[in-house]
Amino acid sequence: MEHQTEILKNCPVCGSIKLQKAFKTKDYFLTQEEFGICMCKKCGFHFTNPRPTKEALSPYYKSEEYISHSNSNQGLFGFLYQQVRNYTLGKKYELVSNIKKDGESILDIGCATGQFLNEFKKRGWNCTGIEPDEEARSFAKSNYDLKVFGEEKLEELASDSFDVISMWHVLEHVSDLQKRVAELKRLIKANGTLFIALPNLDSWDAHHYEKFWAGLDVPRHLHHFKKENVELLFEKHGFKMHKIVPMKFDSYYVSLLSEKYKKNPLHLFSAFFKGAYSNFKARKNPPNHSSLLYILKPKVV
């Protein structure tokens, strides 16, 4: 796929110019193109570099198999994804509502087709969604009557207007981390809460699968986080870590995709074992699961 690329000369988290090439991987999901991963020698953050420009990234999402924007049950991966997503919707609502009471305001950035937001709308919350994909936006509006806008709307939303802001596996896709986290700080109420879910580059399955790890998902994933990277990034913008919650189902799905990328004919059996083992290893060194949910609050001034 022909595209325009850009090269980052500063770490997206700490700003250091001391960068080094870490390893190469491929877009195993779609194009089979090779991409490089850089590491910051100062803070240890990893990021895709060089990478397609923001305008050139759109074609990498244009696939019927890109199921985060889909409600299809077709194929094994689609079926499993939908089953797990349906189960976890209630769990996510429960997790958020244990910290914030019903009937408050929530902004879900990267809301896709709106199932998560709809759980809150049904319970009386004031719901707003941001979704770059026009087809997913249309589905959310027509099927759930949700207020869903394009990404440009973020700058127009009123400051200090949301009790909860969530980004479920979205921040790794955002081109400008500093700008986005500053925007979150502007939009969240002083007593509000952020819920940020991310793949964990320091998990057992990430180390095991290395360049085949589906959590890399280049070039759609521009950034590859460890816990200390998240803490540093958000601390710079006036947030404190409240809690880190493991997302245990993710290790199975990520392992299933990773085994597929390795062309393992026994991928089903192997993925279940590897996913379970990754969760087991994370228990011995908590929290270090395949994906982590970071719950953050603004610091009290």
* Sequence-ordered list of residues with C-beta below 8 angstroms from that of 212, at least 6 positions apart, any chain: 25, 28, 258, 261, 262
For residue 131, give its domain range.
75-298
Q: Which two tokens mark 126?
A: 């004031």
Q: What is the pLDDT of residues 4-36, one digit of tens each?
A: 999 999 999 999 999 999 999 999 999 999 999
Total structural domains within the chain: 1
Domain membership flag for residue 25: no
pLDDT band at 69 (very low <50, low <70, confident <90, very high): very low
CA–chain centroid gap for 174, Å, is 9
The DSSP bridge pattern shows strands 239-246 and 162-168 to be unpaired
The one-letter amino acid code at 291 reads S
Domain membership flag for residue 291: yes
Q: What's the residue count for the chain? A: 301
Q: Is the pLDDT of residue 205 over 70?
A: yes
Q: What is the pLDDT of residues 152-204, one digit of tens each?
A: 999 999 999 999 999 999 999 999 999 999 999 999 999 999 999 999 999 99
Query: Is the pLDDT higher at 166 or at 54?
Result: 166
Is residue 212 within 8 A of residue 28, CB to CB? The reply is yes
pTM: 0.93
Domain membership flag for residue 57: no
Domain membership flag for residue 272: yes
The lowest-confidence range among 83-97, 109-123, 146-160 is 83-97
Q: Cβ atoms within 10 A of the Cβ of 145, count? A: 12
Q: Is the pLDDT of residue 70 over 60?
A: no
Q: Which two tokens mark 285?
A: 């060194």
Domain membership flag for residue 59: no
190: DSSP letter: E
φ, ψ (nearest 5 deg) of residue 186: -70, -35
Tell me how far apart the alpha carbons of residues 46 and 55 are, in angstroms, rounded to a whole number: 22
Q: Which two tokens mark 222?
A: 């521009």
Domain membership flag for residue 20: no
Q: What does the angle CA 125 – CA 129 – CA 131 come to, to the nearest 5 degrees?
A: 165
Domain membership flag for residue 22: no
Give me the helices (H) in 145-249, please.
177-187, 204-209, 227-235
Average pLDDT over residues 101-114: 90
Domain membership flag for residue 69: no
CATH of residue 122's domain is 3.40.50.150
Q: Which two tokens mark 276?
A: 């379970």
Longest dimension (CA), the chain: 56
Q: Is the pLDDT of residue 57 over 90?
A: yes
57: DSSP letter: S
Tell me how far apart the alpha carbons of residues 18 and 148 are, in angstroms, rounded to a whole number: 40
